[in-house]
Structure 1
Amino acid sequence: MLPEQEIRNRLSSLQLAVGHAAQALSAERHLPGELRDYIQKLDHHSDRIAEILALHDTRRIAKLIADMELLGARARRVCSSGLPLSGQMKSAVNHMHNELIDFKQRMH
């Protein structure tokens, strides 16, 4: 298991990555509804990070990260489906998903 300070640092990095994806989302005009939904759900989960971290429950943190990684994988799949999305959108989603994968792997 990761030390608490590393968990805090990774969660902070993750929140930034999700925030960048949410910003890219707001700049896009013609996004598929499912991509918009995935990113909004990720943003909502990201908002819950602080409250779960305060509980010091690593099992709940691991579950949240696993749930977020699944949503991130779905968002990444939509981005790589050939739809006309901006480079900023694709980059933000890829970065966010990479952060989630790395965090999830290190949690185990």
Structure 2
Amino acid sequence: MYVVLLNYTAPIEEIDYALPDHAEWLNRQYEHGHFLASGRRNPRTGGVIITRPMARGKLDAILASDPFCAKHLANYEVIEFSPTKTAPELRLVNEAVHH
């Protein structure tokens, strides 16, 4: 499982211009079952994505397809972790990690 921290590297006006394409990309990742949660950071310096468990290479490929990446508007810090406790709603995700 991963927490991905997006850090904007461009002015917020450029981010806003690319936001619809980024939102479409996010929607596709949810449709494919890759992401669990995502949103803006406060203050608005980037975003956060929480992913389902997957191979790191697959995650890297997914992130490379983000319009923010293609347009060099953000960089990504990827933190891998293995949850040992989860809320009941995430129990199935936790079991996927451990089985």
**TM range, smaller chain:** 0.3 to 0.5
Higher helix share: 1
Normalized per residue, the structure richer in strand is 2
TM-score by length of 2: 0.36
Question: Please, what TM-score do these two structures have when normalized by structure 1?
Answer: 0.34
